Amino acid sequence: MKHFFISLVLVAGLSASLCNAQTTPAAVKEDFKPSVFNQPGKEYPMVNSQGYARFRIEAPDAQAVSVSLGLDGRGGTKLVKGEDGVWAGTTEGPLDEGFHYYHLTIDGGVFNDPGALNFYGSTRWESGIEIPAHDQDFYALKDVPHGFVQQILFPSPSTSTSRRAFVYTPPDYGKDRNKRYPVLYLQHGWGEDETAWSNQGHANLIMDNLIAEGRIEPFIIVMTYGMTNEVRMGGLRNFDMSPFQTVLVDELIPYVDANFATLADRQNRATAGLSMGGMQTKTITLNKPEVFSHFGLLSGGTYSPDDLKDKKDVKLVFMSCGSKENPDGVNNAAKALKEAGYNAVSFVSEGTAHEFLTWRRSLYQLAPLLFKK
């Protein structure tokens, strides 16, 4: 278990700088546009149609400025000061499609890019950049009915505070006063928090679009902070999942069932998580088989038939990862589970690693499989 966590962290750390290695320099197309995750009105960082990223940082008296994105293992992208005193540079190769965390190193200190929005990852608010994906339509903001994302503060006696969660309610929620909805509890990864699935994950837009297309029956999604025992920085060896299990099962779920129009039973309750959140999903679903009926591990390990041998009434096991992770792992695990009689599905996100496009696509694949009659 310890090793599992630590390797997840390492993969997460590296993935931001992964890209397609190029042995011969390709011609860089000069069709750069501002990243969609830039701060309002900011031109840089920019991205071109090939996936190259270009940065521009004002710090006229700095000695050295670099960006943590770039070719894997080669220290990111060093910027060069121009005659105008502005530091600029382009990644040596294209980046993977989708979302990447990054930061600047300026004279030995770590700072965010003033041009980019910030996203909580690596236990801090980091700069983010989006390389447009060829399939980005499924999480685009469209002119369809939109659900709400609600910030709730729920009482948590076990941690002596009010804790925050976000609750996605579908567009028709509340319209029919007698309608009740299934619920997916959806967790972030190590170093992220309860904002991740809405901000960088676009979970609400993925749901809005699936519902508008009639591809799923609407359900609620609940997202809360999973690193309950506050081991945020380097303390993963001591990470203990039981405080989070208490918050989730004994505090959050009863609060959601009391305050939202839920179908408050096991059949209508799913849980999934990415990376460390997948590990939590596995542990908690096995500890508490009476709570959830649909399980999802997104770049977060696998279940074996042995894990589930006393849990024959599991409705769905979904396991996914990026093609640059360990696709054989999730495919073989699903095969073994199917052979043992479970409804198991694996999904591999083509061309992505341990990063959010993998997880956006995973949610898009998982949602239509949930809560089937």
Q: Which residues contact 46 (CB under 8 A, 6 or more apart)?
A: 32, 33, 34, 35, 53, 54
User: Smallest gap, in angstroms, from Cβ of residue 367 to its own copies?
Assistant: 19
Query: Taking the complex as a whole, how short is the minimal distance between the CB of residue 373 and its own copies, in angstroms?
Result: 27
When the beta carbons of 155 and 341 are compared against its own copies, the nearer one is 155
DSSP at 371:
T
Give the one residue of 21, 233, 339, 368 binding its own copies; rule: CB under 8 A. 233
Whose Cβ is closer to its own copies: residue 150's or residue 283's?
A: 150
Closer Cβ to its own copies, 117 or 337, answer by number = 117
* Whether the Cβ atoms of residue 241 and residue 280 lie closer than 8 Å to each other: yes
Dump the DSSP string for 209-242. Answer: HHHHTT-S---EEEEE---TT---SS-GGG--SH
Number of residues that bind its own copies (CB under 8 A): 48
Residue 171-190 contact track with its own copies, rule CB under 8 A, x = bound: ---x--x-------------
**Beta bridge partners of residue 221, listed in sequence order:** 168, 184
Question: Which helix (H) or strand (E) covers residue 183, if one does?
Answer: strand 183-187
Please tell me whether residue 58 binds its own copies under the rule CB under 8 A.
Answer: yes
Q: Counting Cβ atoms within 10 Å, is residue 336 exposed (0-12), middle (13-18) or buried (19+)?
A: middle
What radius of gyration, in Å, describes the C-alpha atoms of the chain? 21
Residue 40 interacting with its own copies (CB under 8 A): yes
Strands ordered across the beta sheet of 33-34: 33-34, 46-47, 53-58, 86-90, 80-81
The span from the CA of 31 to the CA of 223, in Å, is 37
Give the x-and-dash track for 236-275 against its own copies (CB under 8 A).
-----------------------x----------------
Residue number with CB closer to its own copies (125 or 305)? 125
Tell whether residue 110 is a contact of its own copies (CB under 8 A).
yes
Nearer to its own copies, 164 or 311 (CB): 164
136 binds its own copies (CB under 8 A): no
- Using CB under 8 A as the binding rule, the residues of this chain from 60 to 99 that contact its own copies are 60-64, 85
Interaction between residue 107 and its own copies (CB under 8 A): yes
> Is residue 38 classed as helix, strand or coil in its secondary structure?
strand
Tell me the two tokens of residue 110: 């770590």
Query: Using the rule CB under 8 A, is 118 a contact of its own copies?
Result: yes
Binding residues for its own copies (CB under 8 A): 39-41, 57-64, 85, 104, 106-112, 114, 117-118, 123-125, 141, 143, 146, 148-155, 161-162, 167, 174, 177, 198, 204, 230, 232-233, 259
